[in-house]
Amino acid sequence: MVKEYYGFVKKYLKVAQIKTSTLCLMFFTAFFNKGLQLLITLFAAWIIDYATNGDIHMTFTSLIFLILTYTGERATFFWNLKIYGRNMHHMVTTLESKIVNKVISVDENFTKKVSKGNLFSTINNDLYNIGDSLDSVVNMITTLIQIIILFFIITFYSVPIALLFLVYALSFTMFRNWADRKSAYYLTSEKKQGDKYTSLFSQIISGMQEIKTFNMFDDLMLKLKKTQKRYSYYFEKKRHYMTIRGNDSRLITYGFRLAIYIYTLYLMANGAGIDLLVIIIGYHQSLESYINDLIKSSSYFRESMVSVDRVNNILDYKEPQKIDYGDYKNDLIKGEVEFKNVSFAHRDRKILDNVSFKIKPRSLTMIVGQSGMGKSSILNLILRLYKIDEGEILIDGVNIYDYTKDVHSTNVSVVTQKPFVFNMSIRKNLDFVDTNILNQIEACRRVGIHDFISSLPQGYNTILRENGSNISGGQKQLIALARTLLSRSEILLFDEITSSLDPETGKHIMELTKNLKKDHTIIMVTHKPEMMKHADRIIVLHNGKIVGDGKHNDLIMNNEYYCYLQARKSVSKFGVFDNEI
């Protein structure tokens, strides 16, 4: 058990990364607090002994010591709490920053290992459990020392009583430890089911429109109930062992308390003083309190290790194929993009097969084809979300993996068909890219959203609701485009940005795109035939290969597959499904 807890403490301190000075202060104040607690019973016994023997001077001297001990005990407790509070804040904010930075930097495989429900639960609960646990670690170690000192004091007065104390302590601790192990096991399973429930519930909220449209409610409720049933099972099992821990352990306490009282009466009948009675009764109650304190701290700490493991699960995530940045810092990007014999597979499926093309700066290139043919994969590869298997991707003749992170991220931006906006003001959404209000207004004018924003009562200070639900899809798309322009990126990637918009807004965005190509390289993925004719160049993909390359009129005349795409009004009855990366 000692080895197990040593491993726990080591793992905990590694995650928590507590300052050495804080840890020392916590132990120092806790140790003195525990030591002063031990003296209270001793001074109380001395007061009774001296008073019984008529020694008034020593009675009052012991009383003064008792008062000083009480004062010191409260003072050290107060400072221990102050240090604990400061450390709690430091620890939680540090871990929050680490998790956020980790989530931002990982690849898409991360969400297969860590669910959204797990992530939310970790941020909202687990970090605070870990913060609370430092008090448990310190309390556990100092209380153990306190119990050892108590045994020495009792041994000095009566060895048989000390042996009874020892048997009681071992029996009580072993029983509680067994119950705690069982409780912690079921707590882990309970949290997993809670994560699944939270994740599913979050998806239901996000997909409410589709759920109503396709009448999925009954099936989803059945799935929720099954998860809830499994959660309830583990919760009840956990509570069962917690009840045993609380109830049956009291029976052990009562049995040993009775035995100790009987033996103490026996000693008094044979001439022992009343001070022995005070010490034995006082220290037995203290021992009971200390053991309970020790077990409560160790139980809480054991439970917090579930939280430590969950945080480690996030922080220790290793990307299967990490893509490192280079050290090429030239930021004077013109915007030429070239694929040289690029092949790429994902999840054992060939996505791109020996694809080559060169896109000139200041041009509008559209990549077209049916769903699952590799169009969005090309954008994802330019964004460095994946690493190619063969070939090269070049920007201005330099390998895309050679650029520094700053150069790449400031020169390549993407707008998707479902852009994300934060639940904050329009201005703050734009501030993430450029805090200059004049630049924000200029970008919004250019995309044609400034007049709408100005017409709102709060203007640029208007709060956007979650997912921008208080504005239309087209307005949200235009704000996203303005945000992209503020990034000053030379290469703009548009992934189906008009797919869910009304025809009028789609036409406006197309005109805007034609204007933007004057000072940007634009690569657009689209399924809409009416959009394709506006491109300077169209690259046609089929089964991961280029089967057509040219302008609209040339492809109409010479490419049968492109003609087929033009004849299709939409990709499917229900829109574009997420069947390609």
Q: Answer positive or negative: Cα dihedral of 164, 168, 169, 174.
A: positive
pLDDT at res. 576 = 34
**Banded model confidence at residue 158, pLDDT cuts 50, 70, 90:** confident
Angstrom CA distances, 250 to 132, 176, 470, stand at 26, 10, 58
Residue 138 has pLDDT above 70, yes or no: yes
How much of the chain exceeds pLDDT 70, in percent? 93
pLDDT at res. 181 = 81
Those residues with Cβ within 8 angstroms of residue 572's Cβ, 6 or more apart along the chain or in another chain: 371
Query: What does the CA dihedral 82, 88, 89, 92 come to, rounded to 10 degrees?
Result: 180
Which range has the worst mean pLDDT, 138-142, 352-356, 451-455? 138-142
Read off the pLDDT of residues 515-551 as tens digits, 9 standing for 90 and up. Answer: 888 889 999 998 888 888 888 999 999 988 999 999 9
Q: What is the mean pLDDT of residues 559-568?
A: 83
Read off the pLDDT of residues 463-515 as tens digits, 9 standing for 90 and up. Answer: 988 777 888 888 888 898 898 888 888 999 988 887 777 778 778 888 888 88
pLDDT at res. 461 = 93
pLDDT at res. 570 = 40
Read off the pLDDT of residues 159-171 as tens digits, 9 standing for 90 and up. Answer: 888 888 888 888 8
Neighbour tally for 493: CB within 10 Å? 25
Answer yes or no: are the C-beta atoms of 353 and 343 closer than 8 Å. Answer: yes
Q: How far apart are CA 1 and CA 170, in angstroms?
A: 12
pTM above 0.85, yes or no: no
Q: What is the mean pLDDT of residues 256-276?
A: 78
Mean per-residue pLDDT of the chain: 83
Read off the pLDDT of residues 291-345 as tens digits, 9 standing for 90 and up. Answer: 878 877 777 777 777 788 888 888 887 766 678 888 988 888 899 999 999 999 8
**Banded model confidence at residue 360, pLDDT cuts 50, 70, 90:** very high
Query: DSSP string covering 307-348, please?
Result: HHHHHHHHHT---TT------B--------EEEEEEEEEETT
